Amino acid sequence: MAGPSLMDSLFQRSLDDLIKGLRLHQPTSESTFISKSLDEIRREIKSTDPQTKSTALQKLNYLHSLHGLDMSWAAFHAIEVISSQNFQQKKVGYLAASLSFHSSTDVILLLTNQLRKDLSSNNVFEVSLALECLSMICTVDLARDLTPEIFTLLGSTKSFIKKKAIATVLRIFEKYPDAVRVCFKRLIENLESNDVGIVSAVMGVFCELALKEPKSYLPLAPEFYRILVDSRNNWVLIKVLKVFSKLAILEPRLAKRVVEPICEHMRRSGAKSLVFECVRTILSSLSEYESALKLAVEKVREFLVDDDPNLKYLGLQALLVVSLKHLWAVLENKDLVIKSLSDDDPNIKLEALQLVMAMVSEDNVHEICKVLISYALKSEPAFCNEILGSILSTCCRNVYEIIIDFDWYVSLLGEISRIPHCQNGEEIEKQLIDIGMRVKDVRSELVRVGRELMIDPALLGNPVIHRILSAAAWVSGEYVELSKNPFELMEALLQPRTILLPPSIRAIYVQSAFKVLIFCLYSYLFPDEAVASSPSLPVDLDPGVTSSISPKEFSESSDVVVTEPLADREMDEGFNPRDISQSLEDVSVGNGGDTVIAHEQTSCSATLKKDYFTQESIVKLLDLVERTLCPLMGTHEVEIQERVGNIRGLTELIKQELPEFLVHKERNVEGVKVKALEIVKLMHDAFLEELGPVSTSAQERVPIPEGLMLMENLGDLEGICGDIQLPIPSQFCFGRPHSGGRESTSLFNQQTDEESETSYECTSLLAEHRKRHGLYYLPSEKLETISNACPPAKDPQHSDDVNDDGQDLVKLTEQSLVPKKKPNRAKPRPVVVKLDEVDGITIAVSKPESKDYLISGAVREVLLGNEVSSAQHKLPDKSSNKRREKDKLDIDQPSETKENLANVGKSETSTSKKSKHHIPGKERKHKSSRTNADEREDVQKDKTKSGHHNPRHKARQRADDNVDVIAQTPVIPDFLL
Amino acid sequence: MRRIYAVLCSRPESVCNFIEAESISGPDTRFVYKHYATLYFVFLFDSSENELTMLDLIQVFAETLEKCFKNVCELDLVFNYSKMHTILDEIIFGGQVLETNSSEVMKAVEEISKCSLSLSLCARLGFFIYLFFFGGGGEGRGILLVHL
């Protein structure tokens, strides 16, 4: 490109020309005009004539601001223009710098000298320009180099300059904390200035600083208090209030003193902004002062009835702040809150909704949900979903804390699913399955709701509901024994419109169909046991009841339960002709049987059920399955294809052997075994095993299998696994794959288990894994109302020590609720600390649990007949594991306390006043900076008269970690627990 | 900017002037807006500012512009872009509110700038959104001009 010529300078377009030109062009041709202008600017900006250059820069500024053009390339030219003698040109240059410079602009260092020169200029406007620019682009280097100039300006006699210098100090402090040493004293002196503008500027700075790290400013409280009482400027008062709202939390005595003046302002002031600030300060920080709180709530009510939507909105927000601690304040304004739900303003509606949700409790959850649902139906889709979402999240809070009537809740979920434009499918899916696993008593209702959803072909057409349908299908399959009509379920699962479902959900449908099929076959082939097993789920397990009428294998298995297994095991094995793993299944079935006998009404319903399973119905069922699923063999989705393959294999086998079986059955021949029969039985037992909720710490409790080197490269593992490709990263530990599964202690993770490729050759394996899997579910985490339902019904070990379990349960619920409560708080906590906390709890939880594991794990090993040795090996392995955890804990704690001690010592020496507000644990992060800070403190002590403002520069460095610090403190009590 | 514009346009009259902005501009931020005919002023602020004073501040800014341009409109701002910056620099400095008295601002501005008003009337109307970010994290500014 040619250099700028004289002609360019003479006929340069001015900014006005550019703007006019832009406005004449249509939006379509605008971009070409802009790029043409940009070319001109690039040429003109190289001109030697300062006027041409600055005009070019001015145009660039404009294009940058309004059209987002990049102007970082012109950084050097901006500096050239800044150095101009002409004020107008200088101004353009400074504007360009503040618009485009940032910390990585390399030429920024060239600006230092020019800034220094302008800061000490006699022209106040030049000084002002330089200050403005500095406050925008301040870097560490600039801050360090220009601190002396700023210090001088802080003592300026012209308030025009002084207040700008004060505002600039904030940026300087942020970048260069050492500047505090130099400037802080002068800053404080300005608090006593008579000029409102200056006080306002200083308060602005302190407000920003105190919001980040309030502790350090406690010593300044007297000055702030004086301003609070004396000042009549609302802007200043608001800033002071903001500072006090932070300080009052830290120092109760201070709170006591300020509460009266604040109330006074609240009564006296006509400025809504000041009143609101007072209200907010009281609600957030001084809510323990009853009279003040009452007054504040009164004011809030005034806001709520005001016509101004802004006040209404802010009033609702203020209520939300106080709702956590003083719910009565919300309840008092209940009418207004409910009314606000129907406001035109979406913001107000959302706030009101949050408040309504805050009012929900066990007693009123029914009514509130009813009102809200009817309300949701009337409102527009976005808000409707907002309502539904908050209902869902409120109800599932703390593991469904507020729900007592789960039947009602489950049917509510069903109702919500049917609301048009419901977008919460995923959450409903999660909750349906979660409730199914956690709450036993509600399962029959769950199956009913699931059935209603599934048999409605219209719902299949709505993609939003697919996730819910998948949950419904899963529930129907998993708890099919509670269904009134399994055949109907099967038809629903296989209805032609399922083609509309996405493959992953279709796979769940197919799997559920498989479960239903197995159940039907089992009920037909083993009518007695079906009676026994099917209704056993909802009733309590009671090992003490020994049955006299139990069928053949029950008696032997009951023995196993009643007499502790280790010794009897061999004997048991001895006269059990079948596979060992199967005998375990029998145990569970047996237990079920016992209970049923204890509960007559259930067995009654079960006999009714028996009539369903006639030969025709079964044959029809098999036909239906074959007919609908065979076409799916050709699908491209492996998940579906595989599952269909499994079902098909089974149905073919059954069809072959069914006639044979019937012959045997008619002759009443005992002991004849048909292959298909056994498979059906195995599968049924496998599916009967309950899936429970998984604790977040489940992974911790998995013993490391022998011979597994976790530290080694996974490549080796791959070698061991051979050609079986397991999705390793998503799972944690399982020693060996299927091939070695028998003798290894391998553990299959839930995922593979749940939707396992249940090819029937490995049924026994699967059953075993399923059995064992139960161990890692947290049996508790349930509500008090249903806590008696916790031990898995089919679990002999659990039944042995019901009492222990009960105690564990109490502990577990206590502990496991802790981490769940916190995320619900309005303030999100940083991730790191959350992990810390979760770890702490995991360790605590794993202790009772692992003990439980030791017992039950050993028993299971023995019962399963896996080599006894492996079980024994596990014992030391596990305990050492536990010890390791303990060690970890021990190590953590002393180091923590050590630090605390060091902490206290230090702070005692450095500042006397501060130490009592010290939050331990934070120092860890600042070890390095502390030494620095201490030195500085000493220096500062000599300098400042009052000596205790000094920790404030430390604050600078801490400010960033401040969030961590706050969140870290609750960790300590958790550890102490 | 475009997202803010979309949000603004979707809001009817007679609703409150605050917009929760966490999704647009990060945590602890809120927008407050006010519009005068075709001029929209949007301020972005954090928890160290009072919501209602921000509304007042917009009023101050608008009043100052009014005094400066007599019946301010979009074109005044477009063509007197640098003057507007000057005014704003007097009111808000380095992310903090410095001056809240519009006549004080005017005095300073008049002293600083000697530029004359250059008004040229074009037929096209538009929305002019002046967005000013301030708060602890420094400040930034942006302007969105949307032609109707």
The number of C-beta contacts closer than 8 angstroms across A and B is: 129
Instruction: List the single range of A85-89, A133-137, A247-251, A566-570 with lowest mean pLDDT.
Output: A566-570
Q: What does the radius of gyration of chain B's CA atoms come to, in whole angstroms?
A: 15
Chain A hits for B144, Cβ within 8 Å = 66
| pLDDT tens digits along A606-623 | 444 455 667 777 788 888
Task: Read off the amino acid at residue A321.
Answer: V
Tokens, residue A338: 């409910």
Name the residue among A215, A149, A160, A159 with its Cα closest to residue A182.
A149
| pLDDT tens digits along A499-550 | 788 888 888 888 888 888 888 888 877 766 554 444 433 333 333 333 333 3
Question: Over the range A8-40, which residues count as b (16 or more CB within 10 Å of their CB) and which as e?
Answer: bbeebbebeebbeebbeeeeeebeeebeebbeb
The SS3 call for residue A694 is strand
Q: Cβ–Cβ of A208/B145 closer than 8 Å?
A: no
C-alpha A613/C-alpha A523 separation (Å) is 7
pLDDT confidence bin for A40, thresholds 50/70/90: confident
Q: How far is A797 from chain B (nearest CA, A)?
A: 50
Among the partner-chain residues B48, B82, B112, the one whose CB lies closest to the CB of A207 is B48
Report CA-CA distances (Å) from A152 to A187, A408, B16, B89: 12, 72, 45, 22
| pLDDT tens digits along A309-340 | 888 888 888 888 888 788 888 888 888 888 88
The SS3 call for residue A297 is helix
C-alpha A247/C-alpha A265 separation (Å) is 18
Q: CA nearest A211 in B: which residue?
A: B48
Q: Cβ–Cβ of A92/B14 closer than 8 Å?
A: no
Per-residue pLDDT, averaged over A851-862, amounts to 40
What is the CB-side half-sphere exposure of residue A522 using CA atoms within 13 A? 27
pLDDT confidence bin for A827, thresholds 50/70/90: very low
User: How is chain B classified by DSSP, letter by letter?
Assistant: -HHHHHHHHHSPTTS-SEEE-HHHH-TT-EEEEEEETTEEEEEEE-TTS-HHHHHHHHHHHHHHHHHHHSS--HHHHHHTHHHHHHHHHHHEETTEE----HHHHHHHHHHH--PPP-----S--EEEEEEEE-STT--EEEEEEEE-
Strand-pair category, B30-36 with B39-45: antiparallel
Instruction: List the single range of A559-573, A682-696, B64-78 with lowest mean pLDDT.
Output: A559-573
User: With an 8 Å Cβ cutoff, is B26 touching chain A?
Assistant: no
| pLDDT higher than 80, residue A935 | no
User: With an 8 Å Cβ cutoff, is A91 touching chain B?
Assistant: yes
ipTM above threshold 0.85: no
Name the residue among A72, A122, A75 with its Cα closest to residue A94.
A75
pLDDT confidence bin for A435, thresholds 50/70/90: confident
Q: Cβ–Cβ of A309/B14 closer than 8 Å?
A: yes
Mean pLDDT of chain A: 67
Instruction: List the single range of A164-168, A323-327, A727-731 with lowest mean pLDDT.
Output: A727-731
Query: What are the residues whose beta carbons fall under 8 Å from the beta carbon of A571, sequence distance 6 or more?
Result: none
Judged by CB atoms within 8 Å, which residues 282-311 of A form the interface with B? 308-310
Q: Provide, rounded to the nearest whole percent, the portion of chain A with pLDDT above 70.
A: 58
C-alpha A403/C-alpha A503 separation (Å) is 34
Judged by CB atoms within 8 Å, which residues 112-141 of B form the interface with A? 112, 115, 118, 120, 122, 124, 136, 138-139, 141
Q: Cβ–Cβ of A132/B94 closer than 8 Å?
A: yes
Q: How far is B6 from chain A (nearest CA, A)?
A: 15
Q: How far is B144 from chain A (nearest CA, A)?
A: 6
Chain B hits for A320, Cβ within 8 Å = none
Chain B hits for A208, Cβ within 8 Å = 48, 96, 136
Alpha helices by DSSP H, listed for A599-711, are: 600-610, 615-629, 638-667, 675-688
Chain B hits for A16, Cβ within 8 Å = 79, 118, 120
Name the residue among A861, A843, A518 with its Cα closest to residue A681.
A518
C-alpha B18/C-alpha A774 separation (Å) is 52
CB-based contact A747:A705 (threshold 8 Å):
yes
pLDDT recorded at residue A883: 42
The 3 state secondary structure assigned to A739-753 is HHCCCCCCCCCHHHH
pLDDT confidence bin for A649, thresholds 50/70/90: confident
Measure the CA angle with vertex A728, ends A725 and A730; round to 5°.
130
Among the partner-chain residues A23, A88, A167, the one whose CB lies closest to the CB of B98 is A167
Report CA-CA distances (Å) from B47 to A242, A519, A521, A664: 9, 60, 65, 81
Q: Locate tokens 């997202």: which residue?
A: B3
More confidently predicted of A490 and B23: A490
pLDDT confidence bin for A974, thresholds 50/70/90: very low
Strand partners, B40: B35, B129
C-alpha B138/C-alpha A98 separation (Å) is 11
Q: How far is B148 from chain A (nearest CA, A)?
A: 11
Task: Among B96, B128, B145, pick the best mutation site for testing chain A contact (most A Cβ within 10 A).
Answer: B96
Alpha helices by DSSP H, listed for A419-564, are: 425-438, 443-454, 466-478, 486-493, 503-525, 527-533, 552-562
CB-based contact B106:B64 (threshold 8 Å):
yes
- Residues in chain B with pLDDT values less than 70: 1-2, 12-14, 21-27, 94-148
Residue A146 φ then ψ, to 5°: -105, 0
Chain B hits for A314, Cβ within 8 Å = 18, 51-52
Chain A hits for B81, Cβ within 8 Å = 15, 61-62, 65
CB-based contact A77:A45 (threshold 8 Å):
yes
CB-based contact A93:A79 (threshold 8 Å):
yes
Q: Provide, rounded to the nearest whole percent, the portion of chain A with pLDDT above 90.
A: 1
pLDDT recorded at residue A693: 62
Instruction: List the single range of A225-229, A432-436, A946-950 with lowest mean pLDDT.
Output: A946-950
pLDDT recorded at residue B86: 77
Among the partner-chain residues A92, A208, A235, the one whose CB lies closest to the CB of B136 is A208
Tokens, residue A924: 């860890």
pLDDT recorded at residue A389: 87
Task: Among B1, B28, B50, pick the best mutation site for testing chain A contact (most A Cβ within 10 A).
Answer: B50
pLDDT recorded at residue A950: 41
Measure the CA angle with vertex A294, ends A293 and A296; round to 5°.
65
Q: Locate tokens 């969105």: which residue?
A: B144
Alpha helices by DSSP H, listed for A324-405, are: 327-332, 334-340, 346-359, 365-378, 381-395, 397-400
C-alpha A960/C-alpha A958 separation (Å) is 5
Per-residue pLDDT, averaged over A923-947, amounts to 41
| pLDDT higher than 50, residue A444 | yes
CB-based contact A951:A934 (threshold 8 Å):
no
| pLDDT higher than 70, residue A572 | no
Chain A hits for B98, Cβ within 8 Å = 163-164, 167, 197, 200-201, 204
| pLDDT tens digits along A945-972 | 343 444 444 444 443 444 333 333 333 2
The SS3 call for residue A344 is coil
CB-based contact A440:A538 (threshold 8 Å):
yes
Q: CA nearest B49 in A: which residue?
A: A239
| pLDDT tens digits along A65-75 | 777 788 888 88
Per-residue pLDDT, averaged over A157-175, amounts to 85
| pLDDT higher than 60, residue A834 | no
pLDDT recorded at residue A7: 58
pLDDT recorded at residue A319: 87
Per-residue pLDDT, averaged over A429-443, amounts to 83
pLDDT confidence bin for A395, thresholds 50/70/90: confident
pLDDT recorded at residue B46: 77
C-alpha A337/C-alpha A319 separation (Å) is 10
C-alpha A767/C-alpha A755 separation (Å) is 13
Q: Cβ–Cβ of A310/B51 closer than 8 Å?
A: yes
pLDDT recorded at residue A104: 83
Query: What are the residues whose beta carbons fall under 8 Å from the beta carbon of A864, sequence distance 6 or more?
Result: A580, A581, A584, A768, A771, A772
pLDDT recorded at residue A839: 36
CB-based contact A112:A145 (threshold 8 Å):
yes
pLDDT recorded at residue A520: 83
Output DSSP code: residue A828.
Answer: P
More confidently predicted of B90 and A394: A394
Question: What domains are there in chain B, each with its CATH number?
Answer: 2-147 (3.30.450.60)
Q: Cβ–Cβ of A65/B143 closer than 8 Å?
A: yes
Cα torsion A883, A888, A891, A893: sign = negative
Chain A hits for B52, Cβ within 8 Å = 272-273, 276, 310, 314
pLDDT recorded at residue A764: 52
Q: Cβ–Cβ of A27/B118 closer than 8 Å?
A: no
pLDDT recorded at residue A582: 38
pLDDT recorded at residue A667: 58
Judged by CB atoms within 8 Å, which residues 68-97 of B form the interface with A? 78-79, 81-82, 85-86, 89, 93-97
Report CA-CA distances (Å) from B97 to A558, B28, B88, B89: 80, 18, 10, 10
Strand-pair category, B126-133 with B39-45: parallel
| pLDDT higher than 50, residue A377 | yes
Judged by CB atoms within 8 Å, which residues 200-259 of A form the interface with B? 200-201, 204-205, 207-208, 211-212, 234-235, 238, 242
CB-based contact A510:A502 (threshold 8 Å):
no
| pLDDT higher than 60, residue A732 | no
pLDDT recorded at residue A138: 85
C-alpha A349/C-alpha A386 separation (Å) is 10
Task: Read off the amino acid at residue A503.
Answer: P
Name the residue among A862, A287, A958 with its Cα closest to residue A580.
A862
User: With an 8 Å Cβ cutoff, is A352 touching chain B?
Assistant: no
Per-residue pLDDT, averaged over A107-132, amounts to 88
Cβ neighbours of A238 (radius 10 Å)? 26
| pLDDT tens digits along A353-362 | 888 888 888 7
C-alpha A597/C-alpha A604 separation (Å) is 10
pLDDT recorded at residue A665: 62
